């Protein structure tokens, strides 16, 4: 079996480029007792991967040069000599960036187990790509924030940055399901229209055309009760003067710093956190793994009821994965970025 793999061949400069990667071939041995051969169908492309390209990572091990990379993927078992897996099983792993791989069948815990660990997936109504999209780790990040950790009441105003991305768009829709008034930002008019017409937010604006502080002031006449921050310290800083007392800020990430060295510039108005007695929580999707089954049930139900959707940007072919990753930072993609490796 010859597997195709995408390797990182060069640490990037300030900005990542597709030429930092190379598609190579690797020969896989025959599977042994206790092993499984998997063909990947879809892989997820996520902003954190830009940080994995650096030689030093603060949360995950950096990707190696000229070696196998990791990332969320969904595939099918082609052959199995493992008692818990059969040919045809749909399996999730962290062995993305390749079209075939061999697993020893270790128990899958995303970002914590070995990359080739597996878990079977068979939720009613779910297509294979859902497990790296609507039911993927980015979606679970949004769910953890808005369904598990957010403290808010119907009618409260929630601000969600980068609302057209995966975390942002799902966060907006869960907030609406909870009866919140939702204000969100995006980086293009097309994304703003999607937020208004599909995600049904109450107020959306293009932060590239309007000052963030002014747009938030217009959209939040009664102040802000909850923030789900995905974008930048500038966006969060603009929220602080409008926060109501004793309210909450959830930080899922700062995508803006992932392609510029990972350093967060100092805040100029942090005093509002003290003066308004705000709660700030930075969190991981792993903090909500106990809620995974409820998450899947809720997402499937909400989609069937027309309350939940995920905009997708699909790149066809494993060799397109580097271009897909770079699209997250040059703003050429919209919604959840996926790579289709093979037919379902």
Q: Tell me the fold of 2-128+311-340.
A: Quinone Oxidoreductase; Chain A, domain 1 (3.90.180)
Nearest to 25 by CA among 41, 2, 8: 2
- Looking at residue 261, its pLDDT comes to 58
Q: What CA–CA distance (Å, rounded) separates 60 from 162?
A: 23
For domain 137-286, which architecture applies?
A: 3-Layer(aba) Sandwich (3.40)
pTM, 2 dp:
0.92
Nearest to 192 by CA among 182, 204, 175: 204
Q: Which residues of the chain have pLDDT under 50?
A: none
Q: What backbone torsions phi and psi does residue 37 show, to the nearest 5 degrees?
A: -100, 125
Residue 265 in contact with residue 297, Cβ under 8 Å?
Answer: no
Q: What CA–CA distance (Å, rounded) separates 85 from 107?
A: 12
User: Given its phi and psi angles, is residue 139 left (phi above 0), alpha (psi -120 to 50 degrees) or beta?
Assistant: alpha
pLDDT in tens, 154-209: 999 999 999 988 999 999 999 999 999 999 999 899 999 999 999 999 999 999 99
Exposed (0-12), middle (13-18) or buried (19+): which is 298, by Cβ within 10 Å?
middle
- Looking at residue 255, its pLDDT comes to 66
- Looking at residue 332, its pLDDT comes to 80
Domains 2-128+311-340 and 137-286 fall in the same CATH topology? no
- Looking at residue 302, its pLDDT comes to 98
- Looking at residue 329, its pLDDT comes to 86
Residue 90 in contact with residue 122, Cβ under 8 Å?
Answer: yes
Segments making up each domain of the chain, as ranges: 2-128+311-340, 137-286
Q: What CA–CA distance (Å, rounded) separates 283 from 250?
A: 7
- Looking at residue 110, its pLDDT comes to 82
- Looking at residue 58, its pLDDT comes to 66
Structure tokens that stand for 48 in this block:
């954190």
Find where tokens 């990707």 sit. Answer: 63
In sequence order, what are the beta bridge partners of 249? 227, 280
Q: What CA–CA distance (Å, rounded) separates 55 from 65?
A: 9
- Looking at residue 265, its pLDDT comes to 72
Q: What is the mean pLDDT of the chain?
A: 93
Exposed (0-12), middle (13-18) or buried (19+): which is 261, by Cβ within 10 Å?
exposed
């Amino acid at each position: 079996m010859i597997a195709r793999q995408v390797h990182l061949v060069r640490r990037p400069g300030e900005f990542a480029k597709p030429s930092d990667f190379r598609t190579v071939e690797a020969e896989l041995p025959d599977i042994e007792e206790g092993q499984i051969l998997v063909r990947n169908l879809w892989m997820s492309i996520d902003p954190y991967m830009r940080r994995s390209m650096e030689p030093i990572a603060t949360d995950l091990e950096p990707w190696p040069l000229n070696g196998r990379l990791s990332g969320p993927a969904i595939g099918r078992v082609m052959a199995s000599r493992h008692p818990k897996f059969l040919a045809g099983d749909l399996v999730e792993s962290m062995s993305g960036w390749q079209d075939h791989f061999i697993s020893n069948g270790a128990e899958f815990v995303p970002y914590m187990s070995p990359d080739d660990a597996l878990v079977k997936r068979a939720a009613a109504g779910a297509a294979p790509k859902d497990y790296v999209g609507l039911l993927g780790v980015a979606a679970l990040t949004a769910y953890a924030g808005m369904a598990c950790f957010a403290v808010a009441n119907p009618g409260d105003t929630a601000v969600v940055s980068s609302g057209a991305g995966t975390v942002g768009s799902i966060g907006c829709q869960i907030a609406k399901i909870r009866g919140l008034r939702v204000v969100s930002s995006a980086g293009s008019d097309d994304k703003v229209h999607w937020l208004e017409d599909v995600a049904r937010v109450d107020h959306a604006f293009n932060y590239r055309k309007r000052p963030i502080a002014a747009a938030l002031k217009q959209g939040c006449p009664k102040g802000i009760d909850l923030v789900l921050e995905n974008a930048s310290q500038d966006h969060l800083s603009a929220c602080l003067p409008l926060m109501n007392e004793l309210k909450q800020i959830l930080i899922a990430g700062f995508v803006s710093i992932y392609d510029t060295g990972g350093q967060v510039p100092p805040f100029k108005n942090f005093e509002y956190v003290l003066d308004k007695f705000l709660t700030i929580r930075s969190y991981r999707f792993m903090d909500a793994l106990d809620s995974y089954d409820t998450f899947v049930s809720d997402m499937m139900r909400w989609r069937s009821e027309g309350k939940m959707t995920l905009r997708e940007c699909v790149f066809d072919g494993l060799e397109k994965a580097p271009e897909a990753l770079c699209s997250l930072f040059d703003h050429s993609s919209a919604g959840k970025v996926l790579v289709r490796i093979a037919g379902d």
